[in-house]
Amino acid sequence: MKFDQAVRSVLSKYATFSGRASRSEYWYWLLFYWAGLLVILIFTKLYPIWELGLFVPNLAVGVRRMHDSNHSGWWIICPIANIVFLFFPSTGPNRFDVGAPGTVIDGAPLGSTSSFCAVCGKLRLPGQQYCQGCGAKFE
């Protein structure tokens, strides 16, 4: 995942605590967050606005990152475990997958024709040609 895609993905899932966030998405988001914070601290006094505006997406992407390593999002409140788990690799399919085959969305079960976006991981329903999360074209 590229830097701009990761930032767009996190901001588009502003308060989404379900699903998963890849390591690259999480670390690119933190790079954006800390770089922006540094600029704000040096040049302006908008620190409280930056913190309040990005508190929820920061927490949400951390919880989704915990899910990607197959850990409960509640681990985000334990600082030492949190730091260790953030470095864990993705586990492949796990209990935190949203829309895995066999689940039901809008009253219809997902079949083998459903897939996920390779860029942001958002569920692709049959018939979709573009990702609703990041706008990538499906092949």
pLDDT of residue 22: 87
Taking residues 7-17, report their average pLDDT. Answer: 92
The count of structural domains within the chain is: 2
pLDDT of residue 103: 46
Range of the domain at 11: 3-86
Examine the domain organization and report whether 81 and 103 are in the same domain.
no
Taking residues 57-65, report their average pLDDT. Answer: 93
pLDDT of residue 107: 43
Examine the domain organization and report whether 71 and 105 are in the same domain.
no
pLDDT of residue 127: 74
Residues forming beta bridges with residue 108, ordered by sequence position: 105
Contact by Cβ (8 Å): 138, 117: yes
- Domain assignment present for residue 14? The answer is yes
Q: Is the confidence at residue 73, as pLDDT, over 70?
A: yes
| pLDDT tens readout for residues 102-128 | 444 444 444 445 577 777 777 777 777
Q: Is the confidence at residue 54, as pLDDT, over 90?
A: yes
Examine the domain organization and report whether 7 and 69 are in the same domain.
yes
| Least confident stretch, 4-18, 84-98, 109-123 | 109-123
- Domain assignment present for residue 91? The answer is no
Q: Measure CA 63 to chain center.
A: 8
Residues forming beta bridges with residue 109, ordered by sequence position: 104
Contact by Cβ (8 Å): 73, 66: yes
- Domain assignment present for residue 37? The answer is yes
Share of the chain above pLDDT 70, in %: 84
| pLDDT tens readout for residues 29-45 | 999 999 999 999 999 98
Higher pLDDT, 97 or 2: 2
CA angle 55, 59, 62 (to 5 degrees): 145
Dist CA 24 CA 127 (whole Å): 28
Examine the domain organization and report whether 103 and 82 are in the same domain.
no
Contact by Cβ (8 Å): 22, 68: yes
Examine the domain organization and report whether 19 and 82 are in the same domain.
yes
Q: Is the confidence at residue 96, as pLDDT, over 50?
A: yes
Examine the domain organization and report whether 70 and 106 are in the same domain.
no
The CB-side HSE value for 69 (13 A sphere, CA atoms) comes to 22
